[in-house]
Structure 1
C-alpha cells in the first residue's frame, strides 16, 4: 500500500489497483510502469473490480498527455473525481507520474476510463530518452476516444512545448497502423492569457493540420483527410492557483461536455468491448514496444481474435464436461442403439453455439464467425468417435435383424426372389431412417460408405441363402435326371447291339436338354445367376453329370460282356439268317464260314 498526498486530502491505493475502504469508489491501477512493463495482473483485477463486463461497448477511454508538471493529474481528478497522484509543489517541480495510470471515473455514464500519462519534456529523462514518451503517446492515441493535450496558453505556436514532435511521430505511425476512427484531440489550454481564444484555436488547428500534411503517407493513404482520423477541439481554462473558483466552474462545464458526448465522436467503429480492453491494450503495447508497427492489426481485430478464441475454448470445454453429452457418449460404447442420438447431440451443439454467440456478440463479425466455425470443427472432431460408434451399432443391429427376418420369411414358403426384393428394400429404408436418427447437421457427414458396407453384408446373407438354394436345386434335378434315365439306360445297356452307342448319345442329349429347361425355370425364381448363366451352359453341366451316370452304369454291365458274347456266338452259330434253328446237312454245310460270320456278329 502506498500513500500519496493530492491537494488537501490523502489517496490510498492497494496493490491490485482497488482503493482502500473509506476512499472514493474510483478504481485505479498502474497500467504501465516507468520502465515500460505492462501490469497484466493489475489490469485484470481492475477489470473485475470496476465491473467492466457489464459495460459491453457502451464505454469510452479518455487520456491526457502534455508537459511534465503541467497539472494533468490535477485536471483529471477534478474532471472525473479520480485519485491520480498530484505533484507536491512544496517539494519542487519534478516528475510525479511514471508511465501510465488508469482509473475508472466516478458517477459518469456511460462507463469512462481515464489514463494519466507520464509528462513529456521532463528533465528526468532528458532529450536523449524520448522514445518512451512517443510510445506511450502512440498507445494513448491507439486506445483512446478522446486525447486531452494539456499545454500552457503561452506555448501555443512553439515547437516542443506545443507537443509538435510528439504529434508528428504519432500521426505518422497512426497513418500506417490503424484504420480511421476519428479520435478527438482536445487541446486544453491552461492559464488563459489576453490573446483571444479564437486566435489560439486557429493557430492550434492550423499547426496540427500542417503536421498532418507534412508527414509521409503510404500509397493507400495519400488522399486520406485529417478528419477521417481526428477531430480537433480546443478549450481554455483559467489559472488553477490564481482563479480557483473560475477554474472549477470551467472544469465542471468541460466535464458536462465530455459526459454528454458533445466533444467525443459518435462513431464506435473501432470500439472493443470493455471486457476485452485489457487484452487489446496489452497486445497493442507489446507490438509498440517491439517496434512491429507495420504488422499491428486494428484493436478490434486483436481483441476479437484473443477473446473469441478464449470463448470458443471455454464453450468446447463446457460441452465436453456436460453431463448429458457424457451420458450420450458413454451410451454409444454399449453396443446398444442410442435413441434420438442425433437430435439430442445437435441440441447440445446449438446450446453451445448460442452461448458462444451471446458471449462473442460484441466482437468483430468476421473474426467471430471464423472462430465460431473453428468451434464447430473442434466439436465435430470430439463428437465423431461417438457418432461412428453409434453408426456401427446400427449396422451390426440391422444386419442381425435382417438375417433373422430373412430366415423366417424363407421358412414361410414365400417366393425367394420376391421375398429378397421386399426384405432388402425394407431394411435399406430402415437403415436410412436409423441414420437420420443419429445424423448431426453441423457435422455434414456422409454415410454412403457405411451404407455400402451394410448393403454388402445383407447381400452376402442373401447370396449365401441363394447359394444354398441353388445347391439344393442342383441336387434335386440331378436326382430327377438320374430317375428319368434309369430305365431307358438299363434297356439300352441290357440289350446291346449296333445301335447301343447312338441310343446312348440320343438319351444324353434329349434328357440333359429337358432337365436343363426345368432347372433354368426353377433357378430364375431365385434371381441372381440367370443373367450370367446361359441355358447351354446349364445343359452342358447336366450332360457332364449324365455321362458320369452312364459310365458308372457301363462299368456295372462290363463284367457281363463275356457271357453276352458267348451267348451271341452260340445264337448266331445255331441259327440261320432267318433266326431259325440251323439244319446240319453233311453235304451243304460250310462249318468254317458259319464260325466266321458268328464271330463277326459278336464283334459288332
Structure 2
C-alpha cells in the first residue's frame, strides 16, 4: 500500500522508532522472536515503558487489547495511527515495499485519557520476503500471541483477497484457531471479536457479499479443525464474534477514506453507539492492567516452547512447499485454458457441452499436479490435491451458475418465439375466408386477431419443448462427478412458464370473445343500418329477428371453440357464454345509440314528408279547405315517435310494447318510471335528452306551421278579386295598355315581368318572394334614411362652424 506519513526520512527510508520520537511505542518481540530487553538508553523495553504510565496501570480491568494482523505493507500501521492516535512506523512507497514492522510492537492508544483505554499490538505482516522460509512458523506464533491477548483482533485484508485461501490468511487462521483451543481456550471466560477490515473496496462487490464469503470460509475452517474431545461439537460462534467493515482506497479516494476512518474511529471511542466495537464482554477480566506485562511474557514463552507451533517435519515441509508450487502452476494453467469459455459465458453466450469440456480441463489440471507431486509426502499431496480440485470446481461452479442463468433467459426467448410463431397473422396480415377458418384470424381496423387452434394441446406441447430445451442444455453443463443440480432453476422456470401460459390463455380467450362479437356484427351491422334508416314502427321486431339469428349462430361456434380449443368445462363455459351475450347486447345498445345521434335529422325528414308533401309525394299546395293545424299535429307526433323508438332497447320479446318516452293525451310526453316495465340498463337515450330533442324539434317546426298559414292566406286572398274590379281596370287602363303595346321596350319589360310572376305563381313562391321583396325594400328605405340623417348632421355642423367664425370675426373688429 503506497501510504506515506511523517515517519520517513527525507530520502524515504523508514527508520525504527526510538524513545525520542515514539515515547509510547516500543518493540515487545524482536525479529528473532525474543522479548526485547532494555539496553542502555538506546532501546526501551515494554516493561520499563509501561511502568511509567500510571494512568494505564491504575485502570484495573478497564482496558481493551486490540491487535492487527494482515499482509505485509497493507497499511496496518497507518490504520492504527489514524484510529488510535499512535505513531507506529509505516512504509514509504517511493522507496519500495519494504517491511517496516518487525516482530510485535506495543503501544497505548493516544486516547487513554478518555473514556476508553486501548493497548495496541502492531504485528509483523504476513507473506514478507525478508523472513524467507521461517515465515510460516513465526506468523503462527505471533498470530496466536495476538489472539491470546486480544479483546479485538483486527484482520486487515485486501478486498480482492476475499475468497483466496492463503492471501486472505485463512490457512493461518485455521492453525491459530486449532492451537488456541489446545492451549488457551480451557482457561478463557470471554469471547474475542474478530474484526475484518476490508481495504480498497470498490463497491462492485457489496460488503454483504464479502461478509457472506468470509463467514462461509470461517465456518468451513472450523469444521476442519482438529479439536480436543471437549470441543468436538463446538461452533466458532461459541468463542468468537465476527464483524466486518470496508474502506475505500486511501490514494484514489482520499476524502471517502478519511470519512470512513473517522466513522470507524468513533465506533472505537463512543460506547453509546449501537455498533460500538470494544465492548466490555470481550475484555479479559482475569488480567489487570498492572499484571499485563507478566501475562504477556508467560503467553509468549508458552507459545515458543510448544512444539505444535514449530515447523513440521522436513519431509512434510518440503511437500507443503513444493505442492503449493505445483498447485499454483496447475491452477494458473487452468485459468488460462478456461479463459475463452469464461469470456463467452460472461458475454452472455451459451457454451455447448460445458460440462464435458470443463471436466477435461479439470482432469488435465489434476494430472499436471499429480505427475510432479507423486514423489512427495502422500498425505500432504492428497490434501493439496483436494484443495486444487475444490478451487477449480469453485471457479467452474461460478461459470455453471452463469450458464444456467443465461440458459433460463434463452429458454424464455425460445418459448416467446414459439408464441410469436403461433400468433403470427396469416398471409402477412391479409385475411381471407379460408385463412379465417383455419386460424381464427380476422382483420380488424387494419390489425389481426389470431386465435391459436387447439390451445390446450399447443400450450402443453410448447411448455414441454421449452422444458426439454432447458434440461438438455443444463445437463450438458454439469461437470461429471460434481454434485451440481439445476432443480431450483427448473422449478422457477416451470412456474414462470405456467404463469405465462395462463396469462396467454386469458389473452386468447379475450381475443376469441372479441373475434366472435366482431363476427356477429360484421353481418348484423348492414342490417341494423338499413332497419334504423327505415325506422318503421316494427323496427325492433326486425332487429330482434336479425339479432337472434346472428347471435345464435356465433354463440354456437363460440361454445364449440371454448370446449374444443380451451378444454373449458360446462359450468365455466356457461359463464363465458353469459359474458358473451352481455357483451353482444352491450355492443348492440352502443350501435343503436350511435344511430340515435341522427334522430333530429330523421325527425325533420319524416315531418317534411308528412307536412310539406301531399299523398303523391309532391310539394303540398295549401288550399282554403286544408286543416293545417291537424295536419301539422299529425306530422309532428309521427316524427316524435322516433324518439321513443330509439330510446329503449327492446331486444327481448316482453319489451315489444314497452314505451319509455310516453305520449300523453294532451300531446305532451312523460318518462315511463314503471320499474316492472323499465330496466335502466336498457335505456339508450335518457329522458332529459329525449325532452331536449323533442323541444328543439317543436321549436324548429313552428316556422313551417306559420309559413303554411301565411301561404294559405295569400292563396285565399288572391282568388277573391270581384269581377267589376277587373272591368273597371280594363276600361280605365285602356290608354296605358295601348301605350305599352305600341312601345317595344315597355312591351318587352311587361312580358318579362309577367313571365317571372307566372313562374313564381306556378311554383307557389309568390308569398316568399313578396316577403323577401318587402324585407329588401325596408332595408333600402332604412339605408336611405341613414344617409339623409347623416347629410343633415354634416350640414348642421357646417352652419354651426360658420356662425362661430362670424362671431369671432366681429369680436376682433370691435377690439
Q: TM-score, normalised by structure 2?
A: 0.33
Q: TM-score, normalised by structure 1?
A: 0.45
- Choose between structure 1 and 2 for higher RCO, CA contacts under 8 A separated by at least 6 residues: 1
